[in-house]
Amino acid sequence: MTTSIKTLEKNRLRASVYYYKNKEAINQKKKEYYYSHKDEIYAKRKEYYKNRYLNKKYEIQKKSRIFHKERRDRIIKYLGGKCVRCGFNDNRALQVDHINGGGLKERRDTPHFCNAKFENMIYSDTHKYQLLCANCNNIKKYENGEFFKK
Ligand SMILES: [Zn+2]
């Protein structure tokens, strides 16, 4: 193994020495190649960036989906993991509820509101929030007349 690494290094050194000695000729050749294959190079480059962007896009979407799910699980676990009214405990239908209402106002009044901020708000003021399942949350909204307030 060590010998092959040494050979590799030697080759690399030889290549860089060669490049240094023939710099102008090499660059001239590169330039010529570039001008004669311009369209081809542009097309390839475009394709490369397009693919890279698409790959990255899906990667980012996938990561952020996992990230959101983890944050959601974390918050739900922190708030007790079940609906405070009926005990329903399926994460998919659990919602964070503002005990005294005003969720929308809070969202509007908080500059640059985002889920990360919301998570910190929950941790810093637990008494303001509770977990409700979708059913209980809707019933509560109905009871409080929040459906008609805007
Ligand atoms: Zn419930």
Q: Look at residue 11 in the predicted model and tell me its pLDDT.
A: 87
pLDDT digits (tens, 9 = 90+) for 59-115: 888 999 999 999 999 999 999 999 999 999 999 999 999 998 888 888 888 888 888
Residue 130: per-residue pLDDT:
95
| Residue ranges covered by each domain of the chain | 54-150
What does the pLDDT read at residue 114? 86
Beta bridge partners of 131: 96
pLDDT digits (tens, 9 = 90+) for 27-64: 999 999 999 999 999 999 999 888 888 888 888 889 99
Q: Which two tokens stand for residue 54?
A: 């698409």
Ligand 1 centroid to Cα of residue 140, in Å, is: 10
What CA–CA distance (Å, rounded) separates 98 from 126? 10
What is the Å distance from ligand 1's center to 99 Cα?
Answer: 14
In angstroms, what is the span from residue 106 Cα to ligand 1's centroid? 23
Residues in the 5 Å CB sphere of ion ligand 1: 83, 85-86, 88, 133, 136
**Which segment, 16-20, 64-68, 146-150, is predicted with the most confidence on average?**
64-68
Which CATH fold topology does 54-150 show? His-Me finger endonuclease fold (3.40.1800)
pLDDT of residue 71: 94
Interhelix angle for 23-36 vs 2-21, to 10°? Answer: 80
120-126: average pLDDT? 88
**What's the confidence (pLDDT) of residue 93?**
95
Q: How many Å lie between the centroid of ligand 1 and the Cα of residue 133? A: 4
* 76 Cα to the center of ligand 1, angstroms: 14
CA of 131 to the centre of ligand 1 (A): 8
